[in-house]
Amino acid sequence: MKFLKRPVLALGLVLAGWLLQGGTAAAYTCWSPHCYGIVRWQEQPEYFGAYTDITLGRITCSGCDGFVTNEVWLVQRPSAECPQQCWVEAGYTTDGGHNGPYFFWDEVPPGGQYVQHNLGPADPVGSVDHFMIVKDGRVSPATFLVFIYNDTFSTLYGGLSATRTATAMVADHIDMGQELFGSRGITTSATAFTRNIRAVVPLGPEYVFWYWPQTTAGFVMQDMPPFAWWDTLPPVPFGSPEGGRFMTWTP
Amino acid sequence: MSWRNAVLSFLLAAAAATAMAGDQGPRGLQPPKDKPHRPVGIKAVAPRPGGGFKKEDVGNYLHTFNLPRNQGPSQQLGVVSLEFMSVSTLRTRIPADTTGFDGGEQVGLALLEGPLAFRSPQGGEPFTASKGYAVFDADTGNLLIVGTLEQ
């Protein structure tokens, strides 16, 4: 796993890595562990929610033996109630056994088991879909709400992740980007993540996702593939583009 | 610096600080308020002519395609049972969210055994289990929900 902070260097390595592989479909060995091209933010004591706009890129599985995702994760590191991490994630994926790209969200709540929710076909390539995970402070212990939707709400999926203990998940980092599993057949186009923002408080009775844009580059980690880099670094607070423009790619 | 200039400078600085503080407070985004759509799931078990599917159909599907995002070997997955029920009943049987579904809708709950290993976020170990379940749309055979069960 490579840790890269500087976007220019990261992009240079992306292109160099791809060219070294002949500029063709990338070879990969992503069984255990899986491969990732992600950015991680872990500066805050708690992340109350995560949101990103993904401009859906092409993700294909041509005789592949695994799967690929573009998504966002809200994660609590291992603890007494989360021995293998707790998390809520939302994104879109394709794999070798099922129909083309589809939306999903998965969870492991505190004291709970793994659950995956396979929602339905993803919107067409080029669509901008919104992925929101937010802690709901209107109930105790707090739950997490998941939304996947587009501007017209022709796509609108929801979900609720509830703790199985007396305490709610306390997320200590946000991951965002691409996950790759398998060894052959998967390619994706360069995919943009924009409006990268984080909730600063749990959802309250006013039902507003109070947020602050990501203002740091976080830690970029890439297994090449997936490649991952900042096309545009997160600007100063509320500058444009809000939360920067992050890219993933498996050529 | 005269008193007049000093006061003017102080007022300008205070105004600038106030403006900056206003810009740097959190902003609000409205989460969706409408009822979420009903998940359609992903294509999985093909219904038999005349409708419906059986336990062996689920087994064939699992052995051929495996469960989504499962690292465990598909050939070792076994179907313990397949039972059709309403979503309301399903809610009493498994700890899974059913947002978007009406309580009266029919689903098929397949209880599974075999090595299950689902991915975790970067840096974590796979979530492993020897028991699990899969929920299918009773009409289309589409796969809706998958989960692990306590050992």
* DSSP string over A140-200: SS-EEEEEEE-TTSSSEEEEEE--SSSS-----EEEEEEEEEESSSEEE--EEEEEEEEES
What is the rounded end-to-end Cα distance, in angstroms, of chain B?
Answer: 79
Domain region containing A81: 2-15+34-249
- Spell out which residues of chain B touch residue A182, defining contact as CB-CB under 8 Å: none
User: Is residue B105 in some structural domain?
Assistant: yes
Domain region containing B62: 55-148
Which residues lie below 8 Å from residue A24, measured CB to CB, with a gap of 6+?
A251
User: Is residue A26 in some structural domain?
Assistant: no
Residues A75, B26: C-beta atoms closer than 8 Å = no
Gap from B5 CA to chain A (nearest CA, Å)? 32
Contacts of B44-50 spanning 24+ positions with Cβ under 8 A: B44/A98, B44/B136, B44/B141, B44/B142, B44/B143, B45/B136, B45/B141, B45/B143, B46/B141, B47/B139, B47/B140, B47/B141
User: Is residue B24 in some structural domain?
Assistant: no
Residue B17 has pLDDT above 50, yes or no: no
Rounded Cα distance between A175 and A42, Å, is 9
Q: Which residues of A171-186 are buried (b: 16+ CB within 10 A; e: fewer)?
A: bebbbbbbbbbbeeeb
Of B39, B119, B150, the CB nearest to A157: B39
Rounded Cα distance between A100 and A91, Å, is 14
Residue A16 has pLDDT above 70, yes or no: no
User: Is residue B88 in some structural domain?
Assistant: yes
User: Is residue A124 in some structural domain?
Assistant: yes
User: Is residue A50 in some structural domain?
Assistant: yes
State residue B151's pLDDT score.
78
Gap from B130 CA to chain A (nearest CA, Å)? 12
Local confidence band at B14 (pLDDT 50, 70, 90 cut-offs): very low
Number of structural domains found in chain B: 1
User: Is residue A22 in some structural domain?
Assistant: no
Closest CA in chain B for residue A209 = B29
User: Is residue A210 in some structural domain?
Assistant: yes
Residues A114, B34: C-beta atoms closer than 8 Å = no
Share of chain A above pLDDT 70, in %: 89
User: Is residue A68 in some structural domain?
Assistant: yes
The pLDDT tens digits for A123-142 are 999 999 999 999 999 999 99
Q: Which residues of A1-25 are buried (b: 16+ CB within 10 A; e: fewer)?
A: eeebeebeebbebbeebbeeeeeee
Q: How far is CA A124 from CA A103, A129, A180, in A?
A: 12, 10, 21
- Spell out which residues of chain B touch residue A119, defining contact as CB-CB under 8 Å: 39-41
Closest CA in chain B for residue A75 = B121
Local confidence band at B75 (pLDDT 50, 70, 90 cut-offs): very high
The pLDDT tens digits for A203-217 are 999 999 999 999 999
User: Is residue B40 in some structural domain?
Assistant: no
Rounded Cα distance between A74 and A142, Å, is 15
- Spell out which residues of chain A touch residue B70, defining contact as CB-CB under 8 Å: none
User: Is residue B11 in some structural domain?
Assistant: no
The pLDDT tens digits for A73-85 are 999 999 999 998 9
User: Is residue B32 in some structural domain?
Assistant: no
User: Is residue A117 in some structural domain?
Assistant: yes
The CATH number assigned to the domain holding A178 equals 2.60.120
Question: What phi and psi values does residue B58 have, to the nearest 5 degrees?
Answer: -65, -40
Gap from B42 CA to chain A (nearest CA, Å)? 6
Residues B145, A93: C-beta atoms closer than 8 Å = no
Number of structural domains found in chain A: 1
Determine which of A36-50, A228-242, B16-30, B56-70 has the lowest per-residue pLDDT on average.
B16-30
- Interface test mutation site (partner B, options A41, A79, A113, max chain B beta carbons within 10 A): A113
User: Is residue A20 in some structural domain?
Assistant: no
Residues B147, A208: C-beta atoms closer than 8 Å = no
Of A102, A114, A209, the CB nearest to B127: A114
User: Is residue B81 in some structural domain?
Assistant: yes
**Interface ipTM:** 0.91
Using left for φ > 0, alpha for ψ between -120 and 50, and beta otherwise, residue B50 falls in: left
User: Is residue B6 in some structural domain?
Assistant: no
Question: What phi and psi values does residue B9 have, to the nearest 5 degrees?
Answer: -65, -40
Rounded Cα distance between B73 and B58, Å, is 16
Q: What mean pLDDT do residues A39-58 have?
A: 98
Closest CA in chain A for residue B44 = A98
The pLDDT tens digits for A140-173 are 999 999 999 999 999 999 999 999 999 999 999 9
